[in-house]
A and B are shown apart, each in its own frame.
Chain A
Amino acid sequence: DIQLTQSPSSVSASVGDRVTITCRASQDIGSYLAWYQQRPGKVPKLLIYTASNMQRGVPSRFSGSGSGTHFSLNISSLQPEDFGTYYCQQVNRFPHTFGQGTRLEIK
């Protein structure tokens, strides 16, 4: 199975800060990576697909980059509603594994 390792496991940042979350794959997955946001008690929401494509309705402060084994999710100017846990997921090869999550707290 392809393992996805996210870092950091948790981060605390202030409104307006730039935040970067990384996801490293145990083998080359091309660009077949998605990012999801999950607020507490809520359903995950697709933010980014195919590494860098923004899902419709997602604010432009979110962006994704990377390919191969190293990926990043960037939030350019953190907003209060961005708190929650962020997950990467690879869909290059079955089983479609998730990362362990990065918890984002707003200071």
Chain B
Amino acid sequence: QVTLRESGPALVKPTQTLTLTCAFSGFSLSTTGVCVSWIRQPPGKPLEWLALIDWDDDKYYSTSLKTRLTISKDTSKNQVVLTMTNMDPVDTATYYCARSGIVGATYYFDYWGQGTLVTVSS
């Protein structure tokens, strides 16, 4: 059974760094082709793709946010971590992690975490 769960602070202050953890089970990020991504959704707004890390430790980022984002994995702990620096109120959103690499043998998200709401406010 595949599960993903996001965790991190619910509230951060402007200019702080956000660290989110995606803990997953039911698959391994060392399996060829498997990837984990982060996606966010501000309240009432569309989904926004943020970053992806694959089984081979290749990393890809949103163009507009790449200077602020770092994605990493700990395969032994079955975790993926996203850090976002210099947080701003416009970064208030629900942050999701999701698995890809199985369906269609490419980057489609077949399992998502429940999401974690992060509010940026002083």
Please say whether chains A and B are actual partners in one complex: yes
Q: How many residues of A contact B (CB 8 A)?
A: 23
CB atoms of B104 and A96 under 8 A apart: no
CB atoms of B46 and A46 under 8 A apart: no
Asked if B25 is at the interface (CB within 8 A of a chain A CB), the reply is no
Residues from chain B with Cβ under 8 Å of A83 in the complex: none
- Inter-chain CA distance A89–B108, complex, in Å, is 9
Residues from chain A with Cβ under 8 Å of B110 in the complex: 46, 55
CB atoms of A95 and B109 under 8 A apart: no
A45 → chain B closest CB, angstroms:
8
B95 → chain A closest CB, angstroms:
12
22 contacts between A and B (CB under 8 A): A1-B63, A34-B109, A36-B109, A38-B47, A43-B96, A43-B113, A44-B96, A46-B108, A49-B104, A49-B108, A50-B104, A87-B47, A89-B47, A94-B60, A95-B49, A95-B60, A95-B63, A96-B37, A96-B49, A98-B39, A98-B48, A98-B49
Q: Which residues of B contact A (CB under 8 A)?
A: 37, 39, 46-49, 52, 60-63, 96, 100, 103-104, 106-110, 112-115
Known contacts A44-B109, A50-B104; 19 further A-B pairs (Cβ under 8 A): A1-B63, A34-B109, A43-B96, A43-B114, A46-B109, A49-B104, A50-B106, A53-B104, A87-B46, A89-B47, A89-B49, A89-B108, A91-B106, A91-B107, A94-B52, A95-B62, A96-B52, A97-B49, A99-B46
